[in-house]
Amino acid sequence: MRILISLAATTLLASPLFAAPMTVSDANSDFTVTYDTNDAGVYGTVFLSNNTIFFLPDAFLAESSNGGVSTLAESITLTLTAVTPGFSFDTFLLNADGDYYVNGPTSSVSADGLMDVSAGAGSFQAGFNFSDNVDGGPTTQQWAESAILDSTSGWGGSDTSVTLILSNTLSAISDQLGDSAFIQKKFEGVSVSVNAVPLPAGVWLLLSALVGVAGLRRR
């Protein structure tokens, strides 16, 4: 009985349900990225280089042939925490690309992406939409899209910890025999601009007063 209980406990601990969050860091980055490996799905491994988060998925695709619809929808949640003292998150630039083909007059493909950034100031979104329904035969073509989230989007840019949710939906449609469609995402990256947190006006007044006092003491 004890052996069975021990084995059961070991199995539960090894289960993905108990996987600990992973934190990714880079010596040249102003922030760290924390995520649940179970939440990564087809996004795969999270990479961080300087201030750019990126993915290199190899199975993020949708494919249809001889009639039918194939759709793949995935999302991943990341927690970004500034590690450079006095810095906050300012601008988020999303880039994604891959390849596809549209083979047949009834075929089409699409790729939708959404970037959601939330913190104490609220939640803000930016995204992209790509689609093609022009018959190009089985020849593979490239697609690339981008989206930006900054102060013009309402983002305040004064938070030192944010939640970043990335969502993507790929669709491939072929409506009759002989037609086919395929679309794949091979890269997705988010470049983040991290700026110094502006000091409140009261702090500037205090610093000015201290400078003045220091000047008087020198006299």
| CA contacts within 13 A on the Cβ side of 82 | 20
Alpha-carbon distance 96 to 100, whole Å? 13
Domain limits, the chain: 21-205
What long-range pairs does 152-155 form, CB within 8 A, spacing at least 24?
153/124, 153/126, 154/122, 154/124, 155/90, 155/91, 155/92, 155/117, 155/121, 155/124
This prediction has a pTM of 0.80
Structure tokens belonging to residue 44: 């795969």
Indicate the pLDDT class of residue 55, thresholds 50, 70 and 90. Answer: very high
Per-residue pLDDT at 170? 98
Is residue 133 within 8 Å of 34, Cβ to Cβ?
A: no
What is the CA 113 to chain-centroid distance, rounded?
10
Indicate the pLDDT class of residue 8, thresholds 50, 70 and 90. Answer: very low
- 117 CB contacts (<8 Å, ≥6 apart)? 89, 92, 123, 124, 125, 149, 155, 162, 163, 164, 165
Per-residue pLDDT at 197? 58
**Higher per-residue pLDDT: 16 or 188:** 188
Per-residue pLDDT at 20? 62
pLDDT at 17 > cutoff 90? no
Helix (H) or strand (E) holding 215: helix 201-218
Helices (H) and strands (E) in the chain, counts: 2, 12
pLDDT at 116 > cutoff 60? yes
Mean pLDDT of the chain: 84
Rounded average pLDDT over 130-142: 97
Which residue in 156, 41, 165 sits closest to 113, CA to CA? 165
